[in-house]
Amino acid sequence: MSQQQLHQSGGRLSGRWSPYIVGVGIGILSWVVFVVVAAPLGITTAIGQIAGGVVTPILGADTVAANAYWRTNAMKLDYGTLFLIGTFFGALASALISKTFKFESIPSVWQERFGSSKTRRFVVAFMGGALAMYGARMAGGCTSGNGISQSLQLAVVGWTFLAVMFVSGAITAAIVYRGSPSIQSGEK
Amino acid sequence: MFPIKGESALLLAIVFGFVFGWLLQRGKVTNYNVIVNQFRFKDFTVLKVMFPAIIVGGIGVLVLTNMELAKWHVRDANMLATIIGAAIFGIGMVLYGYCPGTGVAAIGTGSIHALVGAAGMIFGAILYAFSFEWVRANILSVGKLGKVTLPQIMHVPAWTLYGALIVIAIALFAWVEKRGR
């Protein structure tokens, strides 16, 4: 399917900008944040902090304060957390303005392979989110913090992360989607 | 004047995050199908976003640091932790269908399963916090290279590597576009 057909396929992919332009935009945003706030783009540090805030009512403030990780990554409404909130609202505004906002529980590529059980999709999404976060914290960043912010500085940590996560993801996808027909992203 | 710190920086955080989320949504990397199909080599949107972001971002930051308008923010390369963490991350990203940033953005586009996966991310972070001391002692401590960059270990100028990335990107995307992926 050509890029143009993808545009015409409608659904969630209308209002699409060229991915190359989006990439250039993220690159320029990186210049701005490096100069203006001296804080590279990143996501998961804030989620780690929020997790500490989430468990505080359950485990008690003392347990959380005594934890070696949360001691240096305490829940606070800091730059990273607000950036995360901004990311949510930016995507929301863009989806609403381009009239592509749509509730989705089961994406078509998933449905074709695993059927229409919401429970199944939700359980795997939860597990996937947990693994992605655990891995990102161990590696010190995710696709944003490591994959973009470190890789653009040609840092060893960024390119190691990108290469390993891509191979790991491709192997996982080959196993999870083995024998699945080749549905395209734009077909809904 | 720069960098801006304190409360003004907090306001800017929302603005920069907003732009980031907007761009992710317009690039359609907030779409499960788009992300998963990258790992199935059926749709190269993710790499079409990442390569230009890295090349344009990197060349700009190189110029800005040379002009002393910006500083480098290279992080420590703890090789064992980066390799194991990235391997776990790759599995998680395909099962979730998002990375953490695109997952948060996808919630804004109406993805319910992205929200469920975000609860999973919180759970994963809790698990990490409780295993942190063990990870620090046994994994983070292995293969510490410090704040190293590819130009340093390869003894090649940064410009050469950015040039090589441009050549690789053009070749890859010419191939990809020819096949309509």
Quick: pLDDT tens for B86-135.
Answer: 999 999 999 999 999 999 999 999 999 999 999 999 999 999 999 999 99
Quick: pLDDT tens for A92-123.
Answer: 999 999 999 999 999 999 999 999 999 999 99
Contact of A23 with B56, CB cutoff 8 Å? yes
Alpha helix (H) residue ranges in B45-111:
45-66, 79-96, 100-108
The count of CB pairs under 8 A between chains A and B is: 524
Residues 6+ apart with CB under 8 A from A4: none
Whether A32 has its CB under 8 Å from any CB of chain B: the answer is yes
Q: pTM of the predicted model, to two decimals?
A: 0.94
Residue type at A61 in one-letter notation: A
Whether A124 has its CB under 8 Å from any CB of chain B: the answer is yes
Q: What are B73's two structure tokens?
A: 């923010």
Distance from CA of A18 to the nearest CA of B (A): 7
Residue type at B32 in one-letter notation: Y
As a whole number of angstroms, the distance between CA B38 and CA B27 comes to 13
Question: Are the Cβ atoms of A34 and B110 closer than 8 angstroms?
Answer: no
Provide the ipTM.
Answer: 0.97
Question: Are the Cβ atoms of A164 and B54 closer than 8 angstroms?
Answer: no
Question: Are the Cβ atoms of A133 and B48 closer than 8 angstroms?
Answer: no
Quick: pLDDT tens for B24-63.
Answer: 999 999 999 999 999 999 999 999 999 999 999 999 999 9
Contact of A142 with A87, CB cutoff 8 Å? no
Whether B91 has its CB under 8 Å from any CB of chain A: the answer is yes
Chain A residues touching residue B153 (CB < 8 angstroms): 156
Strand, coil or helix: what is B144? strand
**Residue located via tokens 């161990």:** A138
As a whole number of angstroms, the distance between CA B159 and CA B154 comes to 13
